[in-house]
Amino acid sequence: MPFLSHRPKLRQALILGAKLAFVVGAFYFVFQHISVRDVRRVLATAQPGWLALAAGLFALSKWLSARRLNYFFRAISVPLSEGENLRLYWLGMYYNLFLPGGIGGDGYKVYLLRQRFPGKTTALVRALLLDRVSGVLALGVLAGVLLAFVPAVPLPWRGLVLAGVPVGVAASYWASGRFFPEFQPLFGRAGWLGLGVQGAQVLCAWAILAGTGTTSQVIDYLVVFLVSSVVAVLPLTVGGIGAREVTFVLGAQVLHLDAAVSVTVSLTFYLITAAVALPGVVFSFKAGKPS
């Protein structure tokens, strides 16, 4: 029936519409708390050298992330060269940010690789899922460690969160053996690479702060940045835009930060993400097209 044949496209359109509505609502909320003029004022102080460093650190984090994913691919006998994997990774970044209404970056990776490695669809999905989970684990570890140095958080809570870090790592190791046994031998290597990925992104956020001349409560801003990175993973929006900004505004209220600086950091990080992902368009011309 013609109606049924159009249902997948209708579903994609509805999902994209919901995400765009979320973005609009998020920015409405954000600019109820700060003015565009305040953000423009902070942006006017940004120093290009620091922003270039931030972009370089973000690109480094994506390179490390691609290497981590390739370890997972090799564990399921999907042997890609580092160059092939990097091109595929950048293509996925491009699709995630610039073609949000379609199949998405991870889905496109599965689509392309299953043509080359038949029968590996389930294993590929599991590899990509675990790659995301390991990234969130690294975010949690870094956020827990940095939170211990935020004076606005009561000392008992800081100690509790810090003590929870090794417990969370141990639980993750158990869960990986229980649900992803084929990848458990990679737990340590993937974990260190995950910390490298998120550490480079934390340094990226620090460089943005330095570029705006922000020298106080830097760790507080970085903790909010890490929390916003977890929120951005949720499929609520397009490339995390909107969700990060709301998190930064709420975090600024809780930790008594400058909301204009917070939102400026978030928007600048998104623009850097888009600029680094844009070269992926070159690889889209060489990739097969989904039916």
Per-residue pLDDT tens digits for 186-203 = 999 999 999 999 999 999
Mean pLDDT over the full length of the chain: 87
The answer to whether 251 and 224 have CB atoms below 8 angstroms apart is: yes
147 contacts: CB under 8 Å, gap ≥ 6: 153, 158, 161, 162, 223
Rounded to an integer, what distance in angstroms lies between the CA atom of residue 289 and that of residue 268? 32
The 10s digit of each residue's pLDDT in 99-147 is: 655 457 788 889 889 989 998 999 999 999 999 999 999 999 999 999 9
d(CA 84, CA 1): 40
